[in-house]
Amino acid sequence: MRKYSSFIAVLLAMLCLNCHGAPKVAVTIKPIHALVAGIMQGIGEPQLLLPDGTSPHTFQLKPSTLKQLQQAELIIWVGPPLELFMVKPLEQFHPRFGILTLMTVPHLQILNQRNEREWAHDHGHDQEHDHDENSHHSHDGQDPHIWLSTDNAKIMVDSIVAILSKHDPDNTKKYQANAKNLKAKINAVKSTLTTQLSQVKTKPFMVYHDGYQYFEKEFHLDAVGTMMLNPHIPLSAHSLNEIKQLIKSNHVKCVFRETEFNDTMTRQYLSGIGVNVEELDPLGARIPQGPEAYENILLQLGDTISSCLQK
């Protein structure tokens, strides 16, 4: 009987050599991780690469992050304009199920980056690109903050479902059901934010770093400019004077900083000229990771913007 049991165990092991559970997925940033986690809910858990409080623009790979990448069967990232630290590793690693670069997803709406400190109110509307299957152009100069558009998020959800279903067909129906539920939640968030932000869409504001134009465009917000042309180069006295004039001429009452940029001197300068400074968290550094994080990131952005502009 023991020999028979052993034979059955060996036979089952041989039959399952090609069997596997949910794909091992590694995702760079929390908002995208949240979308993947929502799709994989009840099936598997994706790994989040970037720790809270770090900027994907300046993040440096650690041995633990490299290990996660090496073990991943599928890697999902936004693209070189956001996560430059990923370019070299992705040239070396060849995950079993491939690499999904979200900025190349067909039909995604891509905006060009704005290179000026002050923006015209309709700036960006003629700089929109609709990716299709035949677009292979460079992404230099394109704005990578694509997750801040709910319409883009739903397109990315479909793309993620497609690649997961391709390599894990047994769970296709679960992925599709989760995606349907997730997109319904994203639609509800868009509806909530549309109502909330309609009350402040004519009120001008500035940001520290030009990372919100997808959000501005979707909800028709009146962002007039950015303080930092390069968020990693300190502002000069001349730049601060230029910013002061921009704030005055546009009647700006709110400037929004970001969690990963802690510039105490600039905040003190702004408070000295009567401007409210509030913190935006587009990467969800202060929000728990998981399937609910994407909606919570956008809702928190809406709350912070509307509350500051209504003061």
pLDDT tens track for 258-292: 876 666 777 778 878 889 999 999 999 999 999 99
> Which of 11-15, 126-130, 161-165, 240-244 comes out lowest in average pLDDT?
11-15
Q: Average pLDDT, stretch 188-195?
A: 98
Cβ contact 185:191 at 8 Å: no
| Residue 5: band (very low, low, confident or very high) from pLDDT cuts 50, 70, 90 | very low
99 has a pLDDT exceeding 50:
yes
Question: Who wins on pLDDT, 137 or 107?
Answer: 107
Instruction: Write down the pLDDT at residue 209.
Output: 87
What is the layout of strands, in order, in the sheet containing 223-228?
A: 223-228, 205-209, 254-258, 276-280
Question: Who wins on pLDDT, 20 or 43?
Answer: 43
The secondary structure of 167-222 as a DSSP string is H-GGGHHHHHHHHHHHHHHHHHHHHHHHHHHTTTTTS-EEEEES--HHHHHHTT--
The SS3 of residue 223 is strand
86 has a pLDDT exceeding 80:
yes
Q: What amino acid is encoded at 48 in this protein?
A: L
pLDDT tens track for 115-151: 899 997 544 444 455 554 333 333 458 999 999 999 9
Q: How far apart are CA 6 and CA 13, in angstroms?
A: 11
Question: Who wins on pLDDT, 304 or 238?
Answer: 304
Q: How far apart are CA 225 and CA 210, in angstroms?
A: 8
- C-alpha torsion sign, points 154, 157, 162, 163: positive
Judging by DSSP bridges, how do beta strands 254-258 and 205-209 pair with one another?
A: parallel
9 has a pLDDT exceeding 80:
no
Question: Who wins on pLDDT, 135 or 164?
Answer: 164
Q: How far apart are CA 241 and CA 191, in angstroms?
A: 39
Q: Average pLDDT, stretch 286-308?
A: 97
Instruction: Write down the pLDDT at residue 121.
Output: 57
The SS3 of residue 147 is helix
Distances (CA, A) of 69 to 118, 263, 289: 39, 32, 19
Cβ contact 48:33 at 8 Å: yes
Domains and CATH numbers, the chain: 21-192 (3.40.50.1980), 194-309 (3.40.50.1980)
Q: How many CB atoms lie within 10 A of CB 145?
A: 22
| Residue 58: band (very low, low, confident or very high) from pLDDT cuts 50, 70, 90 | confident
Instruction: Write down the pLDDT at residue 127.
Output: 47
